Amino acid sequence: MTSRPSPAPAVEPVASGGGGSPRGGELTHLDDQGHARMVEVSEKPVTARLAVASCEVHMAPATAALLADGALPKGDALPVVRLAGIQAAKRTDELIPLCHQVALTSVEVDVEVARDDGLAVITATAQAWDRTGVEMEAMTAASVAALTLYDLVKAVQRDVVITQLRLREKRGGRSGDVVLP
């Protein structure tokens, strides 16, 4: 089993001119009484949005080999993992309470398996033409894909570890483009 990686470095949030991002400490998802609310986005322009998220699934090299070969007891896991991630992205607004329903135009989920390292890296890319970003859709896709992968390998290994769920990139919107290491 590989050692657990250290946490990703802290990144300062990107400030924005408005429309759902914090300005001067303002909490945009709370009303004047401190109650949770969905942010108003109707005045924002519809623009192209893109987000990329990733996570890692750590397992024994023997498990990674079975995964890469499509030889797990439950069959070839990779197509199921990809479809689970895509389906999850489409349902993000049902799972995350204050997320808007977004008109997704594309969702891709990629799984790279490193047999010798016992590692599967899941990368999810979400795109939309909308008034709000798709970061949560990409992160939901990556996380549900990882959970699905765990479900499909647990018959051969129960101590699989999911780590490093994070946003890698976002494009579009008032806050501009952000690419994280």
Instruction: Identify the H or E element spanning 86.
Output: helix 77-90
The three-point CA angle 161-62-110 to 5° equals 60
pLDDT tens per residue, range 140-172: 999 999 999 999 999 999 999 999 999 999 999
pLDDT above 70 covers what percent of the chain? 84
Q: At residue 54, what is the residue type?
A: S
Tokens of 27: 């909490």
Q: Half-sphere exposure of residue 166, counting CA atoms within 13 Å on the CB side? A: 15
Q: Tell me whether residue 159 is one of the annotated catalytic residues.
A: no
* pLDDT for residue 40 is more than 90: no
Domains of the chain, each with CATH number or no CATH = 47-179 (3.30.70.640)
d(CA 171, CA 135): 9
Tokens of 74: 């439950």
Name the residue with higher pLDDT: 139 or 21. Answer: 139
150 burial (CB, 10 Å; 0-12 / 13-18 / 19+) is: middle
The DSSP bridge partners found for residue 36 are 30
- Catalytic one among 116, 151, 159, 177? 151
* pLDDT for residue 4 is more than 70: no
pLDDT at residue 25, rounded to an integer: 54
* pLDDT for residue 21 is more than 60: no
**Strand 161-171's sheet: what is its strand order?**
104-114, 119-130, 47-58, 161-171, 178-179
d(CA 31, CA 173): 23
pTM, entire model: 0.82
